[in-house]
Amino acid sequence: MNTAARTLPPKRVITTKPRFSDKVFRAVVTSGGFSSLVILGLISIFLLINGLNTFKSEGFKFITGFEWYGPQLDAGLPAQYGIGAMLYGTIVIGLIALFFGFPIAVGAALFLSYYAPEWLKKPMVLVVDVMAAIPSIVFGLWGYFILMPHAEYWAKLIHKYLGFIPIFDMPAPAFSRSPFIAGLVLAIMILPIITSISREIFAQTPLDRIQAAYALGATKWSMIKSVVFPYGRGGVIGGAMLGLGRAIGETVAVYTVLNIVYDINIEVLLSAGGSVASMIVNKFGEASPEEVKALMAAGFVLFLVTLFINFLADLIINRTARKG
C-alpha cells in the first residue's frame, strides 16, 4: 500500500518587529495628533499675547465689568473694556439651548437605539449626521426668517401665563431677537452632537444586564430606566456639556437672531442680550487697534471657557466608558 508523503508548509516566523509601512502609518498618525495640539497651543498663545495689554490695564474688571467703549478724547475718559454682561448672556443662551435641546436629543438617541425599526434607523442617523455639517449661518437665517415669527408667539404665551416669574417678565412688548429665540436656534444646532454621543453611550450598555432585566420580567421602558440610564448617566451628562460648549462658542447664528445690547438682561424674552462671540463679530469690523486687542482678550477668555467645558465633558465620558 503506497502512501503519499505529506508535506507540511514551512513554519511562519512571527516577529514583533514592525514593518516599514507600520512605522510610516504610526508616524503620520502621531504627527497628526501632535499637530492638533500645536495648533491649539498656537491659537491660545496668539490670543494671549495680543490681549495681554488689556488684561494688564483692565485687571479683573475685564471679567466683571459691564461697559465697553474706546477712549473718549473729548470727555477725557479712558477706554473701558468689560465682558461681564456678555459672559452672563453667553451662559444664559447656552443654558436655554441645553434646556430645550438636551431632552429632545436624549429622546432621539433612545428611539434610535431601542425603538426605531431598521428601515427607519439608518435614514434618521443620516439626518442627524447631516445636521452636524450644516453651516451655522444657515441655522441663523432659518431662525431669523422661519423660526422667529413662531417663537415670538410662543414668547407671548410664556409671558402671558408665566409673567409673574422675573425672567419671563417684560418691561416692553419687544419679543423678537431675544435670548429665548437665540437659545432655540442653538438648541437645534446642538442636537446632533448630544444625540450621537448618547447613542454611543447607550450602545455600550452590557448585554448581559439587558438580558437579565428582561429575564426578570421587565418591560423595555423598565429596562431602560433600571439599566440603560444608570449605566449611561455620566456619558449623557458629558455629551450635554459638549453641546453646551458648542452653544457657548457659537457666533454667526447668535449674531443673526439676537439684538446685541451691552448690559445684563434677566428677561430672556426681551429683545436685548448678547454673548462674547456675537460681541466680537459685532465690534471687530470697526474696532480701533486698541479695541482689537481687547477683543482678542475676550476671545481668549471664551477660548478658556469652552476648553474647560470640553475637557470636563471628555473626562466624564471616558470615566463612564471605563466603568463599562
Q: How far apart are CA 50 and CA 67, in angstroms?
A: 20
Residue 124 Cα distances to 66, 117, 243, angstroms: 44, 11, 19
pLDDT in tens, 9-59: 777 666 667 777 777 888 888 888 889 889 989 999 999 999 999 999 888
pLDDT over 70 (residue 5): no
Q: How far apart are CA 238 and CA 246, in angstroms?
A: 13
- Any idea what DSSP says for residue 6? P
Q: Is the alpha carbon torsion for 158, 161, 166, 171 positive or negative?
A: positive
Stronger pLDDT, 271 or 323, i.e. the higher one: 271
Residue 238: per-residue pLDDT: 86
- Map residue 14 onto helix, strand or coil: coil
pLDDT over 60 (residue 3): no
Listed in sequence order, the DSSP H helices in 250-288 are 252-257, 276-283
Contact 270, 170 (CB under 8 A): yes
265: how many CB neighbours lie within 10 A of its CB? Answer: 20
Mean pLDDT over each residue of the chain, to the nearest integer = 87
CA neighbor of 88 nearest in space, from 110, 65, 68: 65
177 CB contacts (<8 Å, ≥6 apart)? 148, 257, 258, 259, 271
Residue 323: per-residue pLDDT: 59
Contact 319, 59 (CB under 8 A): no
**At 152, which helix (H) or strand (E)?**
helix 148-162
Q: What's CA 230's distance to the chain center, in Å?
A: 23
Residue 172: per-residue pLDDT: 73
Residue 67: per-residue pLDDT: 85
Pairing assessment for the beta strands 80-81 and 68-69 based on DSSP bridges? antiparallel
Average pLDDT of the residues in 189-218: 92
Average pLDDT of the residues in 305-323: 77
Average pLDDT of the residues in 107-128: 92
Q: How far apart are CA 209 and CA 203, in angstroms?
A: 12
Q: How far apart are CA 117 and CA 273, in angstroms?
A: 43
Q: How far apart are CA 324 and CA 259, in angstroms?
A: 46
Least confident of 47-51, 66-70, 185-189, 292-296: 66-70
pLDDT in tens, 66-113: 888 877 766 667 788 999 999 999 999 999 999 999 999 999 999 999
Q: How far apart are CA 244 and CA 313, in angstroms?
A: 10
- The model carries a pTM of 0.86
